Amino acid sequence: MIDMDTHLNLSVENIANPLLQTWTTPYALPPFGEFSAADFQPAFTVALQAHDDELVAIALNPIAATFDNTIVAFDKSGRLLNRIEALFENLTASETSAALQAVERDMSAPLAAHGNAVYMNASLFKRIDDLYQQRSGLGLNTEQARLLERIHLDFLRAGAQLSVAAQARYGKIMEQLAELTTRFTQNLLAVEAAYELRLGPGDLAGLPDAVIASARQAAQERGAEEGYVITLSRSLIVPFLTFSDRRDLREQAFKAWTQRGSRSPEVETNTNTSANNSSSGETDNLLVAVEIMKLRLEQAQLHGFDNYSDYALADMMAGTRQAVDDLLMRLWTPAKLKAAAECVALKTIAGDDHIEDIAAWDWRYYAEKVRAARYDLRDAEIKPYFPLHRMVEAIFDCAQRLFNIRFTEQPDIKSYHPDVKTYEVHDTDNKLIGIFLHDNFARATKRGGAWMSVYRSQSRIDGEVIPIVVNNNNFAKGEPTLLSFDDARTLFHEFGHGLHGLLSNVHYERLAGTRVLRDFVELPSQLFEHWLSEPEVLKRFARHYQTHQPIPDELIAKLKQARTFNQGFENVEFVASALLDMALHSRRNMDGLDLNEFETEQLTRLGMPKEIVMRHRFAHFQHLFSSSSYASGYYVYLWAAVLDADGFEAFTEAGDPFDPVIAKRLLKYIYASGNTRPPMEAYRAFRGKEPTVTAMLRKKGLLED
């Protein structure tokens, strides 16, 4: 909300701008439908100036620095900018347009420049630093001390103590990085939105009805009156690679999927056109990624580090490259051994089709056949028991049983797309504690993957502020939408992130929800996945979409028996990506960097099985290059896997997956505490001990003999 007493340039145009008004919508949600892309740039101009004015008032306050007039004031500042920026970033990820992308390109550098100016404000930093130096004598409580510590570190890591000349260069680096990461994201979205593998009725051999229905739906959404389309959405292309009997089409689809971003696959006009034809034009992300790496190295060097990885890990739980490498290699060796054994089994079945060598586009296809033969378990048998609406009921029920909260859909609330559902979240006293938006389907205007984000963070610094949290998935729409077990796990995973935002119970916004160290943020999400596999959850919610009968005990038993099936493949895929992330960001020189050559060299050094491709190749590795969030940090999923496997054993030891005593500790120390205490301290408070890697290896079936 604009304070009309501040000296802003509020033209008639700005006053009429919906983004700058007090949002009188329910829950102060953004006024979807009342603004256009053209409103963002003038709104940003006003909001940036408003934030500048707030910071000047803090920095030049004639009264000596206190916790309230400096740290609290800083945490409260920029609320108008935060509101507009959160809306903008969510829309450009979930429901973008050419107009929004143009604004995104135009605003990336100015927004980065503003961030630089905030954290390089010498007068402001002096007040913060003065308080930090005398922090032990300020009488601060635990959360206040943590806030001061984190804000001070934010300034240091953003260059507050660099020389004037270094700060100027640092600012340019951050602006260039903002432009490049925006380009990387937009390039990838363009390639993914354009690609189609069109199928006719004769190209559907092996595909289950649910996959055919989703491919037909995708074709209709792209304006095709007949036929079927396979897109690069994971929820559509993975089932295609798993079931299609057409090896030639599997190869086309696989190459387009794994090469996306490094080239521009042409839109398929028929099944005889190679999906691999392309040119390295404006959408070649390998060139963009190299420029990002050069700038990151320079950024780290300005901070006194000789590589970016050391800079990134200085504010992670792992702390050092050695700690990360030790963990990754602990998994890499047994995963390769298991994958080799899995490949032998695949070749045995592939021999029946006169195929001697398994290609990367064959693995999922023959793995499904091995699973069917070994466990009498087929994905087509599983999916009918996992309709999306039932799995949504399951996540809500698990949250209610664990944390005593309930979700109530509000169908009359308008959102940014008809697919989005809005829910009120209440506690046991019927108090509204949050708003949850659920956006589950893939579309051309939405980036790939699955993620959680916020439109507003929880805090109590300026009255009770309830969070607005959104979960994004990219499931292929069907009638009904049937999920694979992996899709259902993704739903639970992202909802775990959502709960982390919704259940936040802190005073200061900087410490709220998911604003924790990167290798702790995946704990709440991965931990929540465990409840999907609990028999009592499956019996209640995994019901056949036609007969409504619960999933049979025999099928649950098969799922349990097969839980470590193909874990060699899956972990090789993941760990290879994490190891190459670490190797790339550990380089001390980026001159002459060719990412394809680097990938080949590193995978050869590691002994990567030729039948497996790393899960994320550099040209589409959004974790690394759409922002810096997971740069030198893709390992965090494995770090969190150690914590989540060890943590869930607390419920296993209690003999009840919903044990109320343990759930209460889980809420207090993991889901609600945000960044109010160091993460390992929070974990020990929940678990009562340090985590061990044993539970994780056991869960993955990779315990060494």
How many Cβ atoms are within 10 Å of 283's Cβ, its own excluded? 25
522 is catalytic: no
Q: What is d(CA 368, CA 382) in angstroms, rounded to the nearest whole number? A: 12
| Cβ atoms of 40 and 84 closer than 8 Å | yes
Q: What is d(CA 509, CA 458) in angstroms, rounded to the nearest whole number? A: 6
* DSSP of 234-245: HHHHHHHHHH-S
Q: What share of the chain is helix, strand, coil (3-state, %, to 5)?
A: 60, 5, 35
Count Cα neighbours of 111 within 13 Å in the Cβ-side half-sphere: 24
Task: Enter the DSSP assignment of 550.
Answer: B
Question: Residue 355 has which token pair?
Answer: 């195929």
> What values do phi and psi take at 200, rounded to 5?
-100, 175
Task: Enter the DSSP assignment of 670.
Answer: I
Q: What is d(CA 87, CA 108) in angstroms, rounded to the nearest whole number? A: 15
> Helices 285-302 and 164-194 meet at what angle, rounded to 10?
160
431, burial (CB in 10 Å: exposed 0-12, middle 13-18, buried 19+): exposed
Count Cα neighbours of 685 within 13 Å in the Cβ-side half-sphere: 17
**Cα angle 113, 117, 123; round to 5:** 175
| Cβ atoms of 215 and 228 closer than 8 Å | yes
Q: What is d(CA 666, CA 683) in angstroms, rounded to the nearest whole number? A: 9
Instruction: Choose the catalytic residue: 104, 196, 494, 509.
Output: 494
Q: What is d(CA 237, CA 195) in angstroms, rounded to the nearest whole number? A: 12
**Cα angle 92, 98, 99; round to 5:** 80
Task: Enter the DSSP assignment of 385.
Answer: G
421-426 and 468-475 beta bridge pairing: unpaired
Q: What is d(CA 99, CA 193) in angstroms, rounded to the nearest whole number? A: 16
Question: Residue 303 has which token pair?
Answer: 């901070």
How many Cβ atoms are within 10 Å of 291's Cβ, its own excluded? 17
4, burial (CB in 10 Å: exposed 0-12, middle 13-18, buried 19+): exposed
Residue 23, helix vs strand vs coil: coil
Question: Residue 322 has which token pair?
Answer: 């050695």
Question: What is the total residue count of the chain?
Answer: 705
* DSSP of 463-492: B-B--EEEEEEEEPP-SS-B--HHHHHHHH
Where residue 281 falls (left for φ over 0; alpha for ψ -120 to 50; beta otherwise) is: beta
Q: What is d(CA 430, CA 440) in angstroms, rounded to the nearest whole number? A: 27
Q: What is d(CA 42, CA 48) in angstroms, rounded to the nearest whole number? A: 10
Distance of CA 705 to the CA centre of its chain: 34
**Three-state secondary structure readout of 317-341:** CCCCHHHHHHHHHHHHHHHHHHHHH
Which residues on neighbouring strands pair with residue 461, listed in sequence order? 463
Q: What is d(CA 524, CA 129) in angstroms, rounded to the nearest whole number? A: 33
Q: Which residues neighbour 554 within 8 Å (Cβ) at sequence distance 6 or greater?
A: none
For residue 480, cis peptide bond before it (omega within 30 degrees of 0): yes
Catalytic positions: 494
